[in-house]
Amino acid sequence: MKGPVLAALAFLLIVVGSAITLRVYRGNKEFKVFLGAFAAAVLGYAIAFPLTPPDLGVLPAGWLEPASGVDFVNGLLLLALVFHGFWCFAYFACLSPSMGVMVELRARAERGISAEEALAMHGREQPVNLIFQRRLPKLVQGGYVREEGDAYRLLPRGGRIAALGAFLKRLINSEAPVAGSRTC
Amino acid sequence: MLKGMILAGLLIATWAVVQGVVFQLRAPQKAFASMVAWFAPMAPAYVLLYLLTPPDLGFLPERFARAAPALGLLNGLALLVLLFLTGVLFYYHADRSITVRLLIELARAPQQRLSLDQLQTVCGVEVLMQDRLDTMTMNGFLVRRDGRYHLAPKGRLGGLGGTMARRVLTMKTL
């Protein structure tokens, strides 16, 4: 049980550390903040595990895992899974267009929102709407696509991601023609 | 603990295969509800398997089979749920990622090249937003009255969570 307890502490550090770092971070590659926090937490976990007593000074005898290797791997696995969930939640909560609508609707209270207003929120009137303003520069900088005049060409690196994405979509039958399947 | 971890791994693999077959055969309208429905029997199955199998599962070395049974059971159950949630998140990565969709559209285009206008036509805000509004309405987050969208109780909860998360995690939308 020592592994899960240390993992819980490490996760707490991830949440607090990434929240503080995001307040001072000026770039637009927030994933680096999350990955940095995770790497620091894993390092801290790996250092703290052998240095602390098996019962952490507080755990009852019945809660101890006799095989410390299993305890260590178990804690690390739990930490990785919870971190992945937190990372996804953070991106969904802060950047998802769907969440954007719910947050906006909450602020508007009873006024509601029309489809036109929801579209305007995401910059439909702008030459490059907000959905693309965030993503296209990153794809260019990352070497996934190349800008050619007013067009974009896929590069081999982007092609590999597209192939993987298409494979995963086939696995989950994502493009089947049902209500709820997505055009984008 | 290892016994619970192994059983959780086996059951989540079973669920992933079953769910994959369900997606291929039915393409359910409500994917999350389908995933929850097919995962639900895995939790009691795990408990049953844990109680009915020997501590060493018949092959584990003795040193890996000495943990307190209740601890192993609960740890494996927590792991099973976390693995399920991770599976659900992977589903949404594959299904909803706008960036991946952009790359797929480019891969499908002649000479793997599209103008900004073409990209916005196949994957722009109009296409995406209407789809998301329809999906949120279908899933009970929004209700439509007099041509306008309003928050349903589920959506209010989601909006509250999002508002709080945005205050704590200050990520830029651009």
Q: Report the complex ipTM.
A: 0.85
Out of B59, B79, B96, pick the residue that ends a domain: B96
B8 and B74: one domain? yes
Quote the minimal CA–CA distance from A41 to chain B in Å.
Answer: 18
Tell me the C-alpha to C-alpha distance, in Å, between residue A152 and each of A144, A158, A166.
10, 11, 19
Out of B72, B96, B120, pick the residue that ends a domain: B96
d(CA A74, CA B141): 36
Query: What pLDDT digit, counting tens, does each position of B9-51 carry?
Result: 999 999 999 999 999 888 787 888 999 999 999 999 999 999 9
B158 and B112: one domain? yes
Note whether A72 and A49 are within 8 A (CB).
yes
B89 and B104: one domain? no
Note whether B123 and A169 are within 8 A (CB).
no
Q: Residue B36's Cα: distance from chain center in Å?
A: 9
- Chain B residues closer than 8 Å to A140 by CB: none
What is the phi/psi pair of residue A117, to 5°? -70, -35
What percent of chain A clears pLDDT 70, i.e. is strictly above it? 91
B108 and B162: one domain? yes
Q: How confident is the model at residue B67 (pLDDT cuts 50, 70, 90)?
A: confident
Long-range pairs for B112-117: beta carbons < 8 A, 24 or more residues apart: B112/A153, B112/A154, B112/A159, B113/A148, B113/A151, B113/A152, B113/A153, B113/A154, B114/A151, B114/A152, B115/A150, B115/A151, B115/A152, B116/A128, B116/A132, B116/A150, B116/A151, B116/A152, B117/A150
Q: Give mean pLDDT, residues A15-36.
A: 89
* Structural domain spans, chain A: 2-95, 127-184
Sign of CA dihedral A11, B73, B2, B89: negative
Residue type present at position A71: D
Say which of B67, B135, B158 has its CB closest to residue A65: B67
Structural domains counted in chain B: 2
Quote the minimal CA–CA distance from B48 to chain A in Å.
Answer: 22
Q: Give mean pLDDT, residues B150-168.
A: 92
pLDDT score at B76: 95
Q: Give mean pLDDT, residues B50-62.
A: 92
B8 and B90: one domain? yes
What secondary structure does DSSP assign to B13-38, as a single string?
A: HHHHHHHHHHHHHH--SSHHHHHHHH
Quote the minimal CA–CA distance from B143 to chain A in Å.
Answer: 10
d(CA A87, CA A131): 20
CB atoms within 10 A of CB A179: 9
B134 and B84: one domain? no
What percent of chain B clears pLDDT 90, i.e. is strictly above it? 57
Q: Give mean pLDDT, residues B121-150.
A: 87
Q: What is the mean pLDDT of chain B?
A: 90
Cα-trace Rg, chain A: 22
B52 and B106: one domain? no
Q: How confident is the model at residue B173 (pLDDT cuts 50, 70, 90)?
A: low
Residue B174 lies in a domain: no
pLDDT score at B64: 87
Q: Give mean pLDDT, residues B101-120.
A: 89
> Which of the residue ranges A120-124, B3-7, B126-130 would you say has the lowest mean pLDDT?
A120-124
B72 and B137: one domain? no
Note whether B12 and B76 are within 8 A (CB).
no
Query: What pLDDT digit, counting tens, does each position of A144-153 carry?
Result: 999 998 899 9
Element (H, E) at B165: helix B153-168
- Chain B residues closer than 8 Å to A169 by CB: 94-95, 104
d(CA A162, CA A144): 10
User: Could you tell me the pTM of the whole model?
Assistant: 0.84
Q: Give mean pLDDT, residues A162-171.
A: 90
Q: Give mean pLDDT, residues A29-34.
A: 88
Out of B49, B64, B96, pick the residue that ends a domain: B96
Residue B73 lies in a domain: yes
Residue B173 lies in a domain: no
Q: Is the pLDDT of residue B119 over 90?
A: no
Give the residue from chain A lying closest to B128, CA to CA.
Answer: A184
- Most confident option among A36-45, A123-132, B98-107, B117-126: A36-45
Residue with the bigger pLDDT between B103 and A180: it is B103
Q: Is A143 on the interface with B (CB under 8 A)?
A: no
> Residue A90: which of B48, B17, B78, B164 has the closest Cα?
B164
B139 and B151: one domain? yes
Q: Do B132 and A98 touch (CB under 8 A)?
A: yes
> Would you call A147 helix, strand, or coil by DSSP?
strand
pLDDT score at A182: 47
Q: Is the pLDDT of residue A180 over 70?
A: no
pLDDT score at B171: 79
Domain range for B10 is 2-96
Largest distance between two CA atoms of chain A? 68
Residue B151 lies in a domain: yes
B60 and B146: one domain? no
Q: Give mean pLDDT, residues B71-82.
A: 95
Q: Give mean pLDDT, residues A81-105.
A: 91
